[in-house]
Structure 1
Amino acid sequence: MRTVRARVTILVSSAVLSLSTVVGPAVAAPLPDGPGTPAPAAAPSVPQHIDTRTKSTEPVYDYANAIRESVYVDATMDTDSDGENDEIAVDIVRPSETALTGVKIPVIMDASPYYSCCGRGNESEKKTYDGDGVIRKMPLFYDNYFVPRGYAMVGVDIVGTGRSTGCGDVGGRDEIQSVVDVIDWLNGRNTAHTASGQKVLASWTTGAVGMIGKSYDGTLANGVAATAVPGLKTIVPISAISSWYDYTRSGGVPYSDDYMPWLAGYVGHDSAACDEVRGELGDNDDDETGDYTSFWAQRDYTANASKVKASVFITHGLSDYNVQTNHFSQWWSALSRNNVPRKLWLGLEDHVDPFEFRRDEWVDELHKWFDYWLQGLQNGVMKEPMVSVETTPDVWRNYRTWPAVNRPLPVPLAAGKLGAAGKGSVTVTDDPELTEDDIVADPTQVIAGRQMFLSAPLAAPLRVSGTPSVTLRLKSDSATTPVTARLIEYGEAQRYTGIRRTDDSTCEGSSTDYDDSCYYTVEKLTAQSDHGIVSRGWIDAAHSKSLTKPTPLEPGQWTTVTVPLRAQDQIIPKGRILGLAITLSDTEWTSPNDTGATIDIDVAASQLNIPISSGHLTAPTKPQSIQVEITTPTQRPNLHDPKN
């Protein structure tokens, strides 16, 4: 049974009702600004949807009678080499009342490759069209909620996907340019037409655009912001990629092989021309070397963070091993260095939209954010705390900035100990059969293929806030080897394990019989366990000094290798024990790349670098006994499932 908790506010004045009666259901043509369309009335000084008292937009427009239109924006490239420039399919839902009164409105845009192949949101909604090919249902709640409040919702099929022509290049210049072309049209710098060829202007909009989207969609928002395209005022990337190199590999260690051409085929058109483009993706991805090349530099948006003019509201899950946490942290750091106005929400969750795990607060905050940046309403949203972090399920703390610590604390290593300086060396021989369960189990025992370093029980809570790393002075008997590090906390607790959809729904905006605003809620799942992974990290030792020009190791010679772990913000309670596990290849989380190497680690010249803002680490003074019971095998997530 689907029970509904309504969260809908409808404010319709008699004036709006009379307009709705006159306008009637929206149709595909004639379009506003098209031939023969009456000129709109003079725009009021204060639009009806703006409440000057509350400094907020209000839902005064009739969603059922909104204008729904589908247009094709003329792209500036010919990616399928057919001799004609590509066309980018754009679907729009906007208030009919503002069109009649001459009120120009801003745009909320979700550009995506997923509208046809996979769907959006937890319920995998796809676009649907009427018999004339005009948008009928737009996925997600954005149009239901924001169109009555004086916004246009724009869904863009990026080049090579959905109803757009051409071939996509997976985060490259062509996909980003296809979105820029749409923003240019919204600002009068480009052209568009209907399916029948009728020219369409976008004079109904102010040209102010806010991009939003999860995963690939949010990634596109990052990439477009890095072009500094005029008109883009803000972006809201949710669990988004900031560098495709770091999405497909870690320091030269691949997560999977031939991913880029596979993803292009999964979301794109089935054509010989696109097969050729995908072949080029495979030829240029350097899976064989793991090197960072110009191919990856083109898809590294952090490199152009200095160009970002839009504000940025980032949300990310601290358990996300699809788009891992280094993506938000390196993007956030780059934006910080360039003083970009920004905000950050970090949840405990994995690859999950905050609409699912913090719905009421998310909708309210998103509303204020767009009102401020797109409608110019001084509602105080930028005076709120910059950072909000979920510390335990459904418990959030606000912070002034992130990370709390910019200089990680160096923690020395000794044989079997974390927090004490040692002497001599320890040895690790690659064992590709080791699973993560094997690695974290029996931490006080000697296990071939693993070196474990343990702290004493924490004397006070420890807040890890930032990006840990491990610096190892090592020598190898091989020219290279992967090196894997895991930071683990031991101690009994209820720990977050995921989410599950319930039978309850909430409604976030206005509905029609063909596009309702109601979505299932989720519940968070926890389980009692005796350990949790704080962070993981991988690097190919030859790539430690340069991702562009790897340096093969000289067998038997000492060198320094730094393993970057994933960013984290976690409060570890008093009494817990921290463990650092070092292994070599990792066939669960990365593509098999074992070399059979053996390394020696000089513990005196090695250390854990951990960003802690409170508490401290000490080494145990006597042997410890830690019991770890693995009751179910750890399932490696599908790191790159497009539906996620």
Structure 2
Amino acid sequence: GPAPEARASAPVYTYGNAIRESVWVDTGLDGDGDGATDRVAADIIRPREAAERGHRVPVIMDASPYYSCCGRGNESQKKTYGPDGTPEQFPLFYDNYFVPRGYAFVAVDLAGTNRSDGCVDVGGRSDILSAKAVVDWLNGRARGYTTRTGAQRARATGWTTGATGMIGKSWDGTVANGVAATGVRGLKTIVPIGAISTWYDYYFSQGAPLYGSGPDRLSHYVNSPDARTRCQAVQQRLVDGAPRSGDRTPLWAERDYVPDASRVRASVFAVHGMQDLNVRSGHLGAWWQALAAHGVERKIWLSQTGHVDPFDFRRAAWVRTLHRWFDHYLLGHDNGVEREPMADIERAPDRWTTDRTWPPSRTATTTLRPGPGSAPGVGTLGLLPAPPGATETFTDDPLLGETDWAAHIDRTTAAKAGFTTRPLSRDLRLAGSPKVTVTATPSTTSAHLTAVLVDLGPAVIRDHTDAGEGITTLPHRTCWGASRAGDSACFKETEADTARVDFTIVSRGWADLGTWADPDRGRPLTPGRPHTLTIDLHATDHVVPAGHRLALIIGGTDRYLVTPPPSTPTLTLDLARTTARLPVVGGTLAYALATLPRPGGPATAPPGTASTAPPEAQSPPPGATAVPLRGVAAPRPPQAVPTPGAAR
């Protein structure tokens, strides 16, 4: 038989004369309370020849709130329509590339946006069930109409197999996660890119506020102009249900898809930037672990970028892989894609490695413990516990953050406590979601905690703190699929935006110490009394090279937390009751071997001296931009990012 690679759908259909139409699907909800069930607009493009021959085709679907307010992709493309309302431009390349290969593409306006009825409720029933209704309609289980208000029915069962794959970045990918968590039949695969898995964790981190506003502002931002008037009751429910206290409420429980991972029938191809500070990689970590626990077929790409689509950081490989993924799960081709390595990890700009499973099977939790050093706040990190009574003390300074602390790791500074390993004698890989348990005695009734893992040593990385979050957009274009007037398949190329750094943030996490007794609700602290809290750090996959050091930093409010405590706390850490549980490939033995003194080398690095990096860490890859050695500057505060996934 043919080799698996030969089983690929080919561009045998004409894009220029494809059928373009709009259907309004009845969601069964009345989100705007006008007495009529809401209809959501689904703009469809499908191959005409297939329809004329009676061949049914599968569907690739992107349900988004951004098609009219903000645009999609690196060039902020919006939907456009002809004089008669027929869709002309479908954003992104999915229609141009896949329609000629025998797929339909369906771009759904979430309820409350663009040409849809209803109201945006930011990840709740309206968002998820309005998109699910379209999957149901594609499978003959929901009603569709040819107009927004008319009675003429539109049916999909004559032209589609019903096999649907949902894809999208950020909010779009979040909707795909939520729809998959309903267990809807006909949804065969999802491809969430930089997607949210629980909306509470978008706005808060264990009680600590990450944004200065709640979901009501986001809903108002994407609602269509008429929806902003008719959806005021929904807006008020979003205000009332999401208190700025950071407490978990029923509103947040409704918007948490992780507990429903057991209902997922679709395969999942997840993509995330490990330096995404909009939708942080903790969303991926929680979702991935839940999917794994329930045996969901899955694949993962982890990049060094921030909130960036793989079309803009690994274009050719992405299109090729996505093509084979959809061919397998939507067309049923036995091309072997599901038997290939599960994980692709970006190790350096444009340099990727693969793993058969992720995290790798040899990964095991390794518990490291901070210890006192020769100067206050400059401690050690290793396997042995600190002696009873050992402490470190720091004072909250919300004007500083992870990069300030890391830049002064070997100096006594008031706002942090830092702990470092000796220089590594061999590479050490972390793969998964770290946890740091802290026992701290506060001087005030409220306090924040931040825990950061840092790779101390020079490297060339993608500059995720710059405007492109790790990419530079170039003027020339490449084409991916077929074009026609009003809808081009040609997009601006990109390249890695790189920087030389002398440390790299590996993972971070934040928490309100007031949640120490109840993760769902904060409470006042007792000054002078120790409180123990475990901070969940964000999922990562990072190799600390030989010659570098690994550091754990514990501080108070960092600049990502928008609201500091009402008073300035000083916190005293009980080092004997503070631990870092790290997902180390090879486990404790790998860590022990990596921290053996190097032959002929010092047992520890003198405070304030740079680590020695191997030659490959010192030389930039081809195309890297040389900049002065520095730590990565802190990104813009989150409140300056108005929406998850807003197109650049």
TM-score (norm 1): 0.89
Residue type of the partner of 1:450? Answer: K
Residues 82-133 of structure 1 show CA distances to partners (whole Å, capped at 9, x for unaligned) of 1111110110000111111111111110000000000010011111101111
Match of 1:118 in 2: 70
Q: Residue 321 of structure 1 contacts residue 637 of structure 1 at CA under 8 Å; is this kept in 2?
A: no
**Matching residue within 229, 241, 246 for 1:272:** 229
**Is 1:501 matched with 2:501?**
no
Distance of 2:501 and 2:606 partners within structure 1: 23
Count residues with an aligned counterpart.
594
**Is 1:602 matched with 2:574?**
yes
Q: Residue 407 of structure 2 contacts residue 631 of structure 2 at CA under 8 Å; is this kept in 1?
A: no
**Is 1:417 matched with 2:383?**
no
3-state SS of paired residue (2:440):
strand
Distance of 1:544 and 1:100 partners within structure 2: 64
Distance of 2:507 and 2:635 partners within structure 1: 16
Mark the CA change 1:544 to 1:402 in structure 2 (over 3 Å): closer, same or farther. farther
Correspondence list, 1:504-519, <5 A: 504-519=476-491
**Is 1:376 matched with 2:332?**
yes
Mark the CA change 1:384 to 1:622 in structure 2 (over 3 Å): closer, same or farther. closer
Match of 1:55 in 2: 7
Residues 196-245 of structure 1 show CA distances to partners (whole Å, capped at 9, x for unaligned) of 54321112111111100000000000000000111111100011000101
**Matching residue within 21, 27, 33 for 1:69:** 21
Correspondence list, 1:513-552, <5 A: 513-552=485-524
Mark the CA change 1:291 to 1:70 in structure 2 (over 3 Å): closer, same or farther. same
3-state SS of paired residue (1:604):
helix
Match of 1:455 in 2: 421
Residues 552-594 of structure 1 show CA distances to partners (whole Å, capped at 9, x for unaligned) of 4333222321122111101111111222221111234443345
Mark the CA change 1:75 to 1:257 in structure 2 (over 3 Å): closer, same or farther. same
**Matching residue within 47, 52, 60 for 1:95:** 47
- Seq. identity, %: 46
Q: Residue 430 of structure 1 contacts residue 595 of structure 1 at CA under 8 Å; is this kept in 2?
A: no
Deviates more, 1:553-562 or 1:312-321: 553-562
Residue type of the partner of 2:385? Answer: A
**Is 1:239 matched with 2:194?**
yes
**Matching residue within 358, 361, 364 for 2:317:** 361
Mark the CA change 1:159 to 1:532 in structure 2 (over 3 Å): closer, same or farther. same
Distance of 2:368 and 2:62 partners within structure 1: 44
| Cα distance, 1:69 vs structure 2 | 0.3
Distance of 1:111 and 1:621 partners within structure 2: 54
Distance of 2:559 and 2:352 partners within structure 1: 35
Residue type of the partner of 1:635? Answer: P
Match of 1:47 in 2: none
Residues 402-422 of structure 1 show CA distances to partners (whole Å, capped at 9, x for unaligned) of 123654211111111111532
| Cα distance, 1:623 vs structure 2 | 4.1
Match of 2:376 in 1: none
Match of 1:634 in 2: 634
Match of 1:140 in 2: 92
3-state SS of paired residue (1:521):
strand
RMSD across aligned positions (CA)? 2.1
3-state SS of paired residue (2:577):
strand
Mark the CA change 1:448 to 1:89 in structure 2 (over 3 Å): closer, same or farther. same
Distance of 1:209 and 1:282 partners within structure 2: 34
Q: Residue 363 of structure 2 contacts residue 585 of structure 2 at CA under 8 Å; is this kept in 1?
A: no
**Is 1:349 matched with 2:349?**
no
Correspondence list, 1:139-288, <5 A: 139-195=91-147, 197-202=151-156, 203-270=158-225, 271-288=228-245
3-state SS of paired residue (2:135):
helix
Distance of 1:462 and 1:592 partners within structure 2: 35
Distance of 1:224 and 1:540 partners within structure 2: 31
Residue type of the partner of 2:635? Answer: Q
Residues 462-494 of structure 1 show CA distances to partners (whole Å, capped at 9, x for unaligned) of 111111121122222333311011111221222
Unaligned runs of 5+ in 2: 373-378, 464-469, 597-602, 612-628
Distance of 2:566 and 2:462 partners within structure 1: 32
Mark the CA change 1:413 to 1:191 in structure 2 (over 3 Å): closer, same or farther. same
Q: Residue 159 of structure 1 contacts residue 178 of structure 1 at CA under 8 Å; is this kept in 2?
A: yes
Mark the CA change 1:53 to 1:264 in structure 2 (over 3 Å): closer, same or farther. closer
**Matching residue within 478, 487, 492 for 2:458:** 492
Residues 237-289 of structure 1 show CA distances to partners (whole Å, capped at 9, x for unaligned) of 0110001011111100010132301110110033332122112101110212x
Q: Residue 79 of structure 2 contacts residue 91 of structure 2 at CA under 8 Å; is this kept in 1?
A: yes
3-state SS of paired residue (1:608):
strand
Distance of 2:477 and 2:561 partners within structure 1: 35
Match of 2:600 in 1: none
Mark the CA change 1:376 to 1:631 in structure 2 (over 3 Å): closer, same or farther. closer
Mark the CA change 1:516 to 1:471 in structure 2 (over 3 Å): closer, same or farther. same
Mark the CA change 1:208 to 1:631 in structure 2 (over 3 Å): closer, same or farther. closer
TM-score (norm 2): 0.88
3-state SS of paired residue (2:322):
helix
Distance of 2:363 and 2:423 partners within structure 1: 25
Distance of 1:560 and 1:523 partners within structure 2: 45
| Cα distance, 1:432 vs structure 2 | 2.3
Distance of 1:511 and 1:581 partners within structure 2: 52
3-state SS of paired residue (2:231):
helix
Match of 1:339 in 2: 295
| Cα distance, 1:618 vs structure 2 | 4.3
Residue type of the partner of 1:349? Answer: T
Q: Residue 486 of structure 1 contacts residue 582 of structure 1 at CA under 8 Å; is this kept in 2?
A: yes
Residues 1-44 of structure 1 show CA distances to partners (whole Å, capped at 9, x for unaligned) of xxxxxxxxxxxxxxxxxxxxxxxxxxxxxxxxxxxxxxxxxxxx
Q: Residue 195 of structure 2 contacts residue 284 of structure 2 at CA under 8 Å; is this kept in 1?
A: yes
Match of 1:293 in 2: 249
Q: Residue 252 of structure 1 contacts residue 539 of structure 1 at CA under 8 Å; is this kept in 2?
A: yes
Residue type of the partner of 1:625? Answer: G
Residue type of the partner of 2:273? Answer: G
**Matching residue within 410, 422, 436 for 1:470:** 436
Q: Residue 51 of structure 1 contacts residue 57 of structure 1 at CA under 8 Å; is this kept in 2?
A: no
Q: Residue 107 of structure 1 contacts residue 153 of structure 1 at CA under 8 Å; is this kept in 2?
A: yes
Distance of 2:46 and 2:4 partners within structure 1: 22
Q: Residue 423 of structure 2 contacts residue 546 of structure 2 at CA under 8 Å; is this kept in 1?
A: yes
Distance of 2:549 and 2:222 partners within structure 1: 45
Residue type of the partner of 1:297? Answer: A
Match of 2:615 in 1: none
